[in-house]
Amino acid sequence: MLRKLRPDLDLQLLLTGDPIDHRDPRHYGELITLSESLGIARYSHFLGLIPKRDQLALLRGCLALIQPTRFEGGPGGGSVYEAIGLGVPCVVSDIPVNLEIDQGDVVFFRTGDAADLAGKVAKVLSSQQPQPARDALLANGDRNLARLGSAICDYLAHIPSMS
């Protein structure tokens, strides 16, 4: 679907993560089969679990991070925050915990809606901005750390004394 929206781009899909999903052990194999039936197997690269250093190196070269999860332990998982930290735009499922993401270049799509996902990715790719400079990324990270520190201090200031 996305290839029809943006035939001008030589897009490659890199998929990382544990091929064993305790919620559905068939999931990984079904993704491979689906990529074949959709005719995108030659553009799809199932990398499985890879070292974090390799994952970050790949992420730096990506046009966008797609996080289509239906289940997540934290907003967007770590990969979204890593992408934000690297200045890589993100297209993220609209599950409730992901909607808590309030920073970075993040676009939400309707979970399970392939057409909406393709449209949002095409939009992100059409409005591609140059990656921010290292100094700008570091300054943004410092601002985020200061904001987090303030939130923790505010929270702690409102905890009743235990003495």
CATH code of 11's domain: 3.40.50.2000
Q: Are 84 and 47 part of one and the same domain?
A: yes
Report the domain count for the chain: 2
132-143 residue pLDDT tens: 667 766 776 777
Specify whether 123 is located in the same domain as 147: no
Q: Give the integer Cα–Cα distance in Å for 79 and 18.
A: 14
Q: Are residues 104 and 144 in the same domain?
A: no
Q: Please name every residue paired with 52 in a beta bridge, in sequence order, or none if there are none.
A: none
Say whether pLDDT at 3 is over 60.
yes
Residues 108 and 87 in one domain: yes
Residues 16, 47 within the same domain: yes
pTM, two decimals, is 0.75
Range of the domain at 141: 133-163
Residues 112 and 142 in one domain: no
What digits encode the pLDDT tens for the residues 14-44?
Answer: 998 889 888 889 989 999 999 999 988 999 9
The answer to whether 50 touches 18, Cβ cutoff 8 Å, is no
